[in-house]
Amino acid sequence: MSTFSIDGLISGLNTTEVIHKLLEIERAPIRRLEARKAEVNARITAWRAVNTKLTSLEDRAAALATSLTYLAAKASSTDPSVVVASASPGATLGTYTLTVNRLASAHQISTDTFADKDAQVFGTGTLTVTVGSTSTTVTVAEGQNSLAGIASAINAAGAGVSASVVQVDGGYRLLLTSQTSGAQGAVSVDTTNLSGGTAVLSFPHEVSPAQDAEVVLGTGSGAVTVHRSTNVVSNLVPGVTLALVGTGTVTVTVEQDLGAVEKAVRDFVAAYNDVVDALAQYGRYDADTGQRGALQGDGTLQRIQAQLPDAVLRTEVSDQTLKRLSDLGVRLGRHGKLTLDESKLSEALQGRFDEARRVLEAAGGRMRDVTDSLTRTEGPVWLALAALEGRLRSLDRQVSVWEDRVEQKRQQLVRTFANLERALGQLRSQGDWLATQIRRLGGSSW
């Protein structure tokens, strides 16, 4: 919208200010529409926040309903300096005696010691690096026939080893480290195709053997000895990963992880209470201050407030001692929020795990279904948001129409005041002419 204007040169009026004030009157409907837009935006923001909280509750409820939560296991080792153990859900529970006789290692070989790593004293041509059964030909060109140059050539060839020049007492060595751990990664180098030079390139020193880890499971006549190419053993005890750190004998205990179940219940309670807090925040009305939440009086919000506790209270497994969430320490407290007696939950899990599991699975499944029905496409929350977003688009269109009207009014006012200035200018010119004529008449002689 153009803001260019020339204030009344003839009338002396501040036409810019006059037009501005007249347009402010014209903009009154726009201000009302903007206020309605702000209200709708606040409701949209509130519903999106509620939807996020409900989705989080659905996730926590689904965790209670899934069997993986109750298959959680934990593993411990009597000596973490020998074995560090971890367990995945469904791991075979029990106590296992393990003896680590040796660790897996990657093969390392080195050259003799040379005084200068950059001295070009070796032959040129090709050498062959073999790792296990795979051989790679490496070209050593003129200018590369030093320890440093040969290391670069080997690394560039992707030969399955890492080549580096290491400083030792008396000089430097070229060290090759297999990129494949264990016996299958044994390294050998054939340098017979190098020619010339004043020094022979060979790798006579074994720095680290190509060695598999050896682990014995058990101690009796039926003990099982296994070999692995790495120090991470993941298929000896089902569901248990063993990280071999040193040699020695340890006891690894794999047991049910009740702490994981307790955490799942705590997370569920926290997510439920987050939803309750959000619903209370957006649906509140403070009689003392008159302040209202963005969704105060909203029927959909009120129905959600009724559905959630109903899902908790109506969950019951009838054919066992532990029947309800309250038997596990989960109760509805003040303001509709859940409380958790952790000692009661722990006691229930330790004493009647299967019964507690069935109650939690039932409650989780029921709450998952309720929250899914609320947040899914064409569910109540989705419909509420869709209606509000449609209303917002309608308000935007109305604002645009009124803005066009105000602009047209502005242009009309500018033309009107411009015409006024021209009319006043003409009147002034006529007045000046008449005054001149009168003066002339007054000065004439008859």
In a domain, 86, yes or no: yes
In a domain, 213, yes or no: no
Q: What CATH number does residue 39 fall under?
A: 1.20.1330
Q: In 3D, which of 84, 188, 85 has the Cα closest to residue 134?
A: 188
CB 162 within 8 A of CB 155: yes
What is the rounded distance in angstroms from the CA atom of residue 411 to the CA atom of residue 404? 11
State whether 63 and 81 are in the same domain. no
Backbone angles phi, psi at 215, to 5 degrees: -130, 135
Burial class (CB in 10 A: 0-12, 13-18, 19+), 261: buried
In a domain, 442, yes or no: no
State whether 53 and 115 are in the same domain. no
Provide the pLDDT for residue 421. 64
Provide the pLDDT for residue 151. 97
Backbone angles phi, psi at 145, to 5 degrees: -85, 45
In a domain, 232, yes or no: no
Q: In 3D, which of 291, 388, 385 has the Cα closest to residue 38?
A: 388
State whether 311 and 421 are in the same domain. yes
Provide the pLDDT for residue 17. 78
The 10s digit of each residue's pLDDT in 326-380 is: 999 999 988 899 999 999 999 999 999 999 999 999 999 999 999 999 999 989 9
Task: Walk along the chain (446 residues) and give the pLDDT tens digit of each residue.
Answer: 454 455 554 545 567 777 778 778 877 887 888 888 888 888 899 999 999 999 999 999 999 999 999 999 999 999 999 999 999 999 999 999 999 999 999 999 999 999 999 999 999 999 999 999 999 999 999 999 999 999 999 999 999 999 999 999 999 999 999 999 999 999 999 999 999 999 999 999 999 999 999 999 999 999 999 999 999 999 899 999 999 999 999 999 999 999 999 999 999 999 999 999 999 999 988 877 878 888 988 899 999 999 999 888 888 898 999 999 999 999 998 889 999 999 999 999 999 999 999 999 999 999 999 999 999 998 999 999 999 888 888 888 888 888 888 788 777 777 776 776 677 667 667 776 777 767 777 665 44
State whether 58 and 87 are in the same domain. no
State whether 44 and 141 are in the same domain. no
Strands 194-195 and 124-131: antiparallel
In a domain, 446, yes or no: no
Can you spell out the DSSP letters for 186-233?
-EEEE-TTEE--SS-----EEEE--B-EEEEE-SSTT-EEEEESSSEE
Q: Looking at this protein, which amino acid is placed at residue 381?
A: V
State whether 149 and 42 are in the same domain. no
Q: Where are the alpha helices (DSSP H) in 71-207?
A: 147-157
The structural domain count of the chain equals 3
C-alpha distances (whole Å) from 138 to each of 106, 123, 193 are 21, 13, 10
CB 328 within 8 A of CB 360: yes
Q: What CATH number does residue 198 fall under?
A: 2.60.40
Buried b (16+ CB within 10 A) or exposed e, 341-367: eeeebbebbeebeebbbbbbbbbbbbb
State whether 223 and 287 are in the same domain. no
Q: Where are the alpha helices (DSSP H) in 6-133?
A: 15-26, 28-65
In a domain, 389, yes or no: yes
Provide the pLDDT for residue 289. 81
- The label of the residue with tokens 């795990």 reads 353
Q: How far apart are the first and last CA of the chain?
A: 62
State whether 311 and 426 are in the same domain. yes
State whether 268 and 410 are in the same domain. yes
- Look up the domain containing 223 and give its range: 73-100+219-227+237-256
In a domain, 297, yes or no: yes
Residue 426 is classified by DSSP as H
In a domain, 316, yes or no: yes
The 10s digit of each residue's pLDDT in 7-18 is: 554 545 567 777
State whether 267 and 174 are in the same domain. no
CB 23 within 8 A of CB 13: no
State whether 376 and 391 are in the same domain. yes
Strand locations in 40-133, DSSP E?
Answer: 73-77, 83-87, 94-102, 106-110, 124-131
Element (DSSP H or E) covering residue 89: none
Q: In 3D, which of 70, 89, 63 has the Cα closest to residue 365?
A: 63
Q: In 3D, which of 105, 132, 135, 119 has the Cα closest to residue 174?
A: 119
State whether 201 and 326 are in the same domain. no
Tell me the two tokens of residue 90: 């469904």
Rg of the chain, C-alpha, whole Å: 43
